[in-house]
Structure 1
């Protein structure tokens, strides 16, 4: 019987039916208990909801989805066209030229030392983050707020999620003392925290660690024997007034760095990401386990995408200028919306990278309660239903329901509303990138106002909403 259950074929149909009757009860297509309460990613869900609203003719200010929306650089499009005929499977952990290019890129741009053999390639950094939580030991320390998928990844991997609370008054700053207090409490409760995920620049806040905080968090992780996963998908999109520093500079033996093409190169649909693993015995064992898991799930990232990505990570002045122009636009727009919000009295950390803001509407709690709004989810729904403003609630990022914070993503505001065709949209975006050359680093903080009608409409609509709440 044991061997039969492991897959030996039965040639007698009566035997098959009898065995199934003994071993199989319940309803066909029944869900696994661990997935019965799993919801769709809030970021993807809001994007699909906005598409449906717009298809129905309802104009919506799209602050809900964080997608870098600039046109793909022609050099990358040409590289992909050249690689399109290469349809064979790639090595599980990636093609050698790409792994070497990424190792060199991290050394050149972030002063990090990784070997090509310590770089893993996947169809996006998202599956790599999930895979890492599958193969690493221990439970997860996760700051709140954090990106929407870290906690579901951990739960799917059977890890406990230990929330590290941060203070809005301190702009959600993560400190060794907060980490130490959370770690101590978690251990008292029987958890085994061995992993910490940080994201700098941050989704959802747009904040970025200072060099001092980066070093302090890295050294604390080393002292406690914590594996530190640093999601640096927005590293290239620092706004200029604060330097991006990777924790791996201070904790190279225990820090894993992830990244990809989706944000810096506006290539989210390419699904190409990487993880850089420490160069030591444990790192080699981790790479072996990661490769084994990948071989059973995604086999390899798409070969043409990998070959085209080599171009993105090789030194190239034209591509560097493209990324820098993108970062300037992201910073310019995010700062203008930040200034507009704070001028209304909204509490909001100043964004330092990426294209996000994380405003807090606590000053209007009483006025919101009078309208039946007590949670961030209710607030986000009210803004969508009544004001045609799409946002995401703080609960999507691990916050308590009563925290009246929302994430606003500015990257979908760049396309003029009257641009109908793909060609019109692309031309408008290239024109905007060209205007970025007018922006010096100081101009990111508003000395020049680029003409972005959707941003101005978002500012006006948010102002009308706040004014409707009274003083």
Structure 2
């Protein structure tokens, strides 16, 4: 991709607002192989990142937005900017923070009693930002049945779709089965798309920002079903009046990311990336559980979404909050996030940013503060840690665990240090918090 960007740097023409023809053809072929449905270039709309396309979709489609709680931070603000109504679909830790068919049905039935019928758009993002979880085929089939009955359109946000792990490997030592399973994932999980079960009502979102590691290049794409050709045409017209066209060199550079002839190289890259992410995620998740947090094992992506309500250190933070606030109101996730940042230097986003209640002590943590190229090279062919098992063994559980710990300390030092400080805060006492301030937390 980098070589293609260099080679086409002189390209300075305006391409079609729908996207460069050869790129759209390549993405269509990729989507055909991925979904089992026949797609052509006419079904594809390319934009300057998925966020711009999401905004145009909500601008062009006068519909209520159905959002799982929690959901990525930008869906709801875009709806609010455009005067669209957001209908939150509640999820729970017990459901894996996932929409269920029954929960979606309840939300639709509830709102149908108090509002006139309005087109509705459900956003499903998997692996999820902020939770890292994915959906099984059975779960998607059941959700699709509800959407079909109620005429709900779906935006399947699959921007992390190739950064996935398998979730059926054994748990790390010392992790109780009910502490957040399924157990830690391993590379090789195949992402399932709801488009397979609801093809005529689903738009697929993809791009090169996440799994291709090219977020700053700003290129995303929508794949429409034939039945939504009218919406694609409206959005293409809106694209012409807003961003005009995506940067020509970037469109050329994106072709190898989707091209069949590049699939072997891309698969090797993704396998290496997923091995690194898998080890880091399982180490971080195991550590959080040891500090008393409830957290679901991620199936992919970059994030975990712990609930820290039961952690011993949170009680010490409550007492500090009560003293500072004069007992005015309950401690919120926003306040606790700031307190943790102050004591440990670890930045997290509170659950409120993703649609959760202020008093619920949930947070999104991103675990990608390391040099990915170096970490991947060490696990690659001929690398110093080529044979390393990326299923986290648990601290102190044997020679392989020692090798894993050495790898993380060498290639992901910020993750290790941040995790240790965070867990000392969550699992500690008021004195531990003071000790963190006296160290290098800030």
Q: Same fold, TM exceeding 0.5?
A: yes
- Structure 1 consecutive aligned stretches of length 4 or more whose deviation exceeds 6 Å: none
The correspondence of residues 35-46 of structure 1 with structure 2, limited to 5 A, is: none
Q: CA deviation at 1:433?
A: 5.5
Equivalent residue number for residue 343 of structure 2:
386
Q: Is the 8 A contact 2:378 2:386 kept in 1?
A: no
1:154 paired with 2:79, answer yes
Q: Residues 437 and 229 of structure 1: is their aligned pair in 2 closer, same or farther, counting only changes over 3 Å?
A: farther
Q: Is the 8 A contact 1:229 1:255 kept in 2?
A: yes
Deviations, residues 286-314 of structure 1 (Å, cap 9, x unaligned)? 11100111011100111110011111111
Q: Is the 8 A contact 2:64 2:86 kept in 1?
A: yes
1:240 paired with 2:185, answer no
Q: CA deviation at 1:260?
A: 0.4
Q: Residues 294 and 437 of structure 1: is their aligned pair in 2 closer, same or farther, counting only changes over 3 Å?
A: farther
Q: CA deviation at 1:103?
A: 1.1
Match of 1:292 among 237, 243, 253: 237
Higher RCO, 1 vs 2 (CA within 8 Å, ≥6 residues apart) = 1
Q: Is the 8 A contact 1:99 1:116 kept in 2?
A: yes
Equivalent residue number for residue 386 of structure 2:
438
Match of 1:173 among 92, 95, 98: 98
Give the Cα–Cα distance (whole angstroms) in 2 for the partners of residues 204 and 376 of structure 1: 15
Q: Secondary structure at the match of 1:444?
A: coil
Deviations, residues 326-356 of structure 1 (Å, cap 9, x unaligned)? 1221122111101111122210011101010
Give the Cα–Cα distance (whole angstroms) in 2 for the partners of residues 330 and 211 of structure 1: 23
Q: Residues 296 and 203 of structure 1: is their aligned pair in 2 closer, same or farther, counting only changes over 3 Å?
A: same
Q: Secondary structure at the match of 2:66?
A: strand
Q: Which moved more, 1:225-234 or 1:181-190?
A: 181-190
Q: Is the 8 A contact 1:325 1:437 kept in 2?
A: no
Q: Is the 8 A contact 1:186 1:193 kept in 2?
A: no
Segments of structure 2 that go 5 or more residues without pairing to the other structure are 168-188, 322-329, 394-399, 433-442
Give the Cα–Cα distance (whole angstroms) in 1 for the partners of residues 375 and 268 of structure 2: 18
Q: CA deviation at 1:107?
A: 2.3
Q: Which moved more, 1:355-364 or 1:446-455?
A: 446-455
1:358 paired with 2:318, answer no
Give the Cα–Cα distance (whole angstroms) in 2 for the partners of residues 439 and 220 of structure 1: 45
Q: CA deviation at 1:259?
A: 1.0
Give the Cα–Cα distance (whole angstroms) in 2 for the partners of residues 230 and 311 of structure 1: 23
Give the Cα–Cα distance (whole angstroms) in 1 for the partners of residues 246 and 25 of structure 2: 16
Give the Cα–Cα distance (whole angstroms) in 1 for the partners of residues 376 and 134 of structure 2: 26
Equivalent residue number for residue 397 of structure 1:
354
Q: CA deviation at 1:380?
A: 0.8
Give the Cα–Cα distance (whole angstroms) in 2 for the partners of residues 101 and 444 of structure 1: 35
Q: Is the 8 A contact 2:273 2:376 kept in 1?
A: no
RMSD, aligned CA:
2.1
Q: Secondary structure at the match of 2:281?
A: helix
Q: Is the 8 A contact 2:91 2:97 kept in 1?
A: yes
Give the Cα–Cα distance (whole angstroms) in 1 for the partners of residues 38 and 424 of structure 2: 50
Q: CA deviation at 1:454?
A: 2.1
Give the Cα–Cα distance (whole angstroms) in 1 for the partners of residues 148 and 277 of structure 2: 34
Q: Is the 8 A contact 1:376 1:394 kept in 2?
A: yes
Equivalent residue number for residue 32 of structure 2:
107
Q: Residues 134 and 162 of structure 1: is their aligned pair in 2 closer, same or farther, counting only changes over 3 Å?
A: same
Q: Secondary structure at the match of 2:427?
A: helix
Segments of structure 1 that go 5 or more residues without pairing to the other structure are 1-75, 416-424
Deviations, residues 110-134 of structure 1 (Å, cap 9, x unaligned)? 4343221000000011111111111
Q: CA deviation at 1:368?
A: 3.1
Match of 1:456 among 395, 412, 416: 416
1:211 paired with 2:137, answer yes
Give the Cα–Cα distance (whole angstroms) in 2 for the partners of residues 436 and 95 of structure 1: 41
1:468 paired with 2:416, answer no
TM-score (norm 2): 0.82
Q: Secondary structure at the match of 1:237?
A: coil
1:369 paired with 2:318, answer yes
Match of 2:154 among 178, 203, 228: 228
Q: Residues 436 and 289 of structure 1: is their aligned pair in 2 closer, same or farther, counting only changes over 3 Å?
A: farther
1:187 paired with 2:112, answer yes
Give the Cα–Cα distance (whole angstroms) in 2 for the partners of residues 214 and 350 of structure 1: 19
Q: CA deviation at 1:366?
A: 4.0
Q: Is the 8 A contact 1:187 1:193 kept in 2?
A: no
